[in-house]
Amino acid sequence: MTKQQRALVAVTDFGVEEPELLTPVGKLRAAGVEVTVASDSGKTIQTVQGDKDWASTYEPDSALDDVSADDFDVLVLPGGTVNADNARGNEQLQSLINAFASAAKPIAAICHAPWTLIDAGRAEGKKLTSYPSLRLDLQNAGSTWVDEELVRCTANDWVLLTSRNPDDLDAFCSGILDELGT
């Protein structure tokens, strides 16, 4: 019998792009992956649509302080400009990113979420994509930025999956499921 795969979806409490949270959570769960959504406080998450309009709220399963990379097979980082900007300064999230990468566990980041890799010191040497406005930041951090729907990079002994925006969610979610062998 195959071990059930476990995904950690990590966000801050405000500003996550609604489809970048809800679509991966839904598709991973539909595929039988056990998903835990953790936010910085563990309190209600306010999502946004197009970075400007408030969208739905979402109840996380946990606070970031209460999760460990040891308990999961993949880390999923949804975007949203405000979410990603807040995540850059969140020490617990930076620790989780480093723990996943150090354990050679895959990290999947979409849209603005690759920003967080810069502050975690994990962007250097990676080929990746993101929302186009992050290109220069990521290049300055030592990444090779490309404009592709899904990029899988194995540099530095860990897998990074990246996509550009909500239009790439089908490829992003399929990439995560393929990585998990689900």
Alpha carbons within 13 A on the beta-carbon side of 41: 9
Handedness of CA 77, 124, 50, 87 (dihedral sign): positive
The catalytic position among 21, 97, 105, 112 is 112
> Active-site residue 111, yes or no?
yes
17 and 52 in contact (C-beta within 8 Å)? no
Phi, psi angle pair for 83, to nearest 5°: -55, -50
Count other C-beta atoms under 10 Å from residue 154's C-beta. 12
Task: Given the residues 96, 111, 141, 177, select the one marked as catalytic.
Answer: 111
156 is an active site residue: no
What contacts 134, CB < 8 A, 6 or more positions away? 112, 114, 115, 145
Known catalytic residues? 111-112
